[in-house]
Amino acid sequence: MVLLDVDLAGLMALNDQVSFQIALTEPKTDIPSYLLANGMTIELSDIEAGLSSPDVKSAFAAIVADAFAGQYAAAIKTHRPAMQDLYAKYFAANQLDAVLFPTTILTAPTIDAVMGSSTLRVNAGDATDTFNTVIRNTDPCSNAGLPGLSIPAGLTRDGLPVGLELDGPLGSDQDLLAIGMSIEALLGPVAAPKL
């Protein structure tokens, strides 16, 4: 195994044009289609009424309101293909089988059950949105439709889990699983966190 330190410039700017535009538009038709195909007669409003997490309520409200509908076509037809092309060129130019990085840039933050997530600070920096900070590393690959895998890598001094994310080129699912299993074998078993 050879590790290279190679940046993927421009990825986050493209991801900003794809992420919520797809994730909060497609469920408006996909959830009802799934429910109908499985013989359920539940409306989106029924699901929305049963939500208790402030964060999920907020996201689901955007789905029901079709908040990103006006940006969806450009996300699918322009920005997502550009992300896929950027990834393909990155993997090919650097002869990479996978990209390895922390699953999240910080350990799991405490979420307020009443108010939901709000902001947090990473390394004493400026306050940033908790949700966007936590999904930052895993969001682009999933939005591009590429395979990604998170494996346990250990525990912090405080006993919180740490993960390693592996993302691979389009269609490399089996290779990515093999790489992940090899890394897991090298790292050894990780003890369950003490809650």
- From the list 28, 132, 130, 22, the residue with the least C-alpha distance to 83 is 22
Distance CA 50, CA 52 (A): 7
Task: Give the CA count within 13 Å in the CB-facing half-sphere of 126.
Answer: 2
pLDDT tens-digit profile, the chain (195 residues): 778 888 899 999 999 999 999 999 999 999 999 999 999 988 999 999 999 888 889 899 999 999 999 999 999 999 999 999 999 999 999 999 999 999 999 888 877 777 777 888 888 889 888 888 889 999 999 999 999 999 999 988 888 889 999 999 999 999 999 999 999 999 998 887 777
Closest CA to 156 of 118, 119, 193, 110: 193
Exposed, middle or buried by CB within 10 Å (0-12, 13-18, 19+), for 83? buried
Element counts in the chain: helices (H) and strands (E): 10, 5
| pTM across the whole model | 0.87
Task: Please tell me the distance from the alpha carbon of residue 102 to that of residue 135, in angstroms, as a whole number.
Answer: 11
Tell me the torsion sign for CA atoms 14, 44, 30, 135.
positive
